[in-house]
């Protein structure tokens, strides 16, 4: 094991001295997963209690009780407390769906983060506590984990904007495995699966493994997979071999991508993306690329005009749109229009 790690580190150091691109190197473990390591997805139905009047607004009634009211009634019955459904006023309670994605190697006693989302018409889960909730891998299977704890809602104070986004929350380490599930088997000939399939990155991973452990140790199958052959000398320590492979450093291929938040208009660019000549009009804002000028409103009488030079960066365009008063939705639509018009070649993702 020590010899495997030493040889891997020496190869990584050699790759790091190859040129300036080495500063962008990433570990193989950060770029790939191993075949068979399928994350476990869990789901459960529960209730969040302790809300300050922001829970489900639907009330119980004769012949018309809601799922939230029925859940509260069933919960109280477990403690030998019987309350007629029509007397339940559950404004401080919300019915929720609890979801999680965990490692396939997590055992009983392991903790994980859960996401909590309102199922009814609750306006906010802020300040609530998730009642202990069984979680299953499939609705027809027995529970394998439970979740509970104080929910955390992203955002600041209880402003109108934050309340609109408060129907979803999370609980760090709120999930707890209570049963051992079958663990993925890697096999004698493991395969590396790229998190983001890319032919160049997959080829560099195979080259790095072959340079560290000898020709024929890795074989490029396709842009998303690299097959490994530990060999007879490593057959009794496949996990040690894989640990050494994980430490190798390769240069990951960069993707030209623009990610825009539909909530607050934040624009993040991957790669050096430049904008070509184009004119886009969206409601009261016109973006003109090709006549020069700074990325800012044109001035009095032209507050909706944004003018930038050809070849401007995405950040310049985004700054101009924000200065002109464009909403987050308008920013996303304008960049999508630039993509469709051919002014930018990057992938545009609006979230």
Q: Per-domain residue ranges for the chain? A: 2-37+185-251, 40-177, 257-350
The conformation of residue 277, written as its DSSP 8-state character, comes to S
Strand positions, DSSP E, the chain: 25-27, 32-34, 40-49, 94-102, 111-118, 129-135, 145-150, 168-177, 191-194, 218-222, 225-228, 249-251, 257-260, 267-270, 274-275, 278-282, 285-289, 305-308, 312-313, 347-350
Q: How far is CA 223 from CA 149, 194, 250, 347, 348, in A?
A: 42, 8, 15, 19, 22
Tell me what pLDDT residue 291 has: 59
Query: For position 23, what pLDDT does the model report?
Result: 37
Q: CB neighbours (10 Å) of residue 23?
A: 8
Model pTM score: 0.67
Instruction: Quick: pLDDT tens for 89-101.
Output: 778 899 999 999 9
pLDDT < 70: residue spans in the chain: 1-24, 58-65, 155-165, 186-188, 271, 291-303
Residue 169: closest CA among 130, 199, 197 = 130
Q: Is residue 227 helix, strand or coil?
A: strand
Using only C-alpha atoms, the chain has a radius of gyration, in whole angstroms, of: 27
* 213 phi/psi in degrees, rounded to 5: -120, 5
Are residues 43 and 136 in contact, defined by beta-carbon separation less than 8 angstroms? Answer: yes
Around Cβ 86, how many Cβ atoms within 10 Å? 14
CATH of domain 2-37+185-251: 3.90.1150
Closest CA to 237 of 28, 1, 51: 1
Bridge partners of residue 27, in order along the sequence: 249
Q: 2-43 pLDDT, tens per residue? A: 444 444 444 444 444 333 333 357 899 999 999 888 899 999
pLDDT digits (tens, 9 = 90+) for 177-202: 998 888 777 666 789 999 989 899 99
Model pLDDT, residue 301? 42
């Amino acid at each position: 094991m020590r010899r495997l790690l030493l040889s891997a580190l020496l190869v990584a150091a050699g790759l790091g001295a190859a040129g300036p691109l080495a500063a962008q190197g990433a570990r193989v473990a950060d770029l790939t997963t191993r075949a068979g390591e399928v994350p476990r997805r869990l789901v459960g139905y529960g209730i969040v209690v302790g809300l300050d009047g922001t829970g489900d607004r639907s009330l119980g009634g004769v012949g018309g009780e809601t799922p939230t009211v029925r859940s509260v009634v069933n919960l109280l019955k477990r403690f030998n407390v019987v309350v007629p459904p029509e007397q339940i006023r559950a404004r401080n309670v919300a019915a929720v769906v609890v979801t999680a994605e965990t490692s396939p190697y997590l055992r009983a006693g392991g903790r994980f983060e859960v996401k909590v989302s309102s199922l009814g018409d609750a306006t906010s889960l802020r300040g609530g506590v998730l009642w202990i909730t069984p979680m299953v891998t499939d609705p027809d299977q027995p529970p394998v984990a439970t979740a509970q704890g104080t929910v955390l809602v992203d955002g600041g104070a209880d402003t109108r904007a934050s309340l609109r986004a408060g129907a979803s929350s999370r609980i760090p380490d709120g999930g707890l495995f209570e049963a051992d599930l079958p663990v993925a088997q890697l096999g004698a000939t493991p395969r590396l699966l790229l998190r983001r399939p890319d032919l160049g990155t997959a080829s560099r991973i195979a080259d790095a493994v072959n340079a560290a452990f000898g020709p024929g140790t890795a074989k490029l199958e396709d842009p998303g997979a690299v097959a490994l052959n530990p060999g007879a000398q490593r057959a009794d320590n496949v996990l040690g071999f894989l640990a050494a492979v994980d430490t190798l450093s390769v240069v990951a291929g960069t993707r030209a991508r623009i990610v825009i938040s539909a909530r607050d208009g934040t624009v993040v660019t991957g790669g050096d993306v430049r904008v070509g000549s184009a004119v886009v009009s969206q409601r009261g804002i016109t973006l003109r690329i090709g006549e020069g000028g700074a990325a800012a409103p044109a001035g009095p009488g032209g507050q909706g005009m944004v003018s930038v030079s050809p070849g401007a960066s995405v950040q310049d365009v985004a700054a101009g749109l924000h200065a002109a008063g464009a909403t987050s939705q308008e920013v996303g639509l304008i960049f999508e229009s630039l993509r469709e018009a051919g002014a930018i070649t990057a992938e545009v993702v609006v979230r």
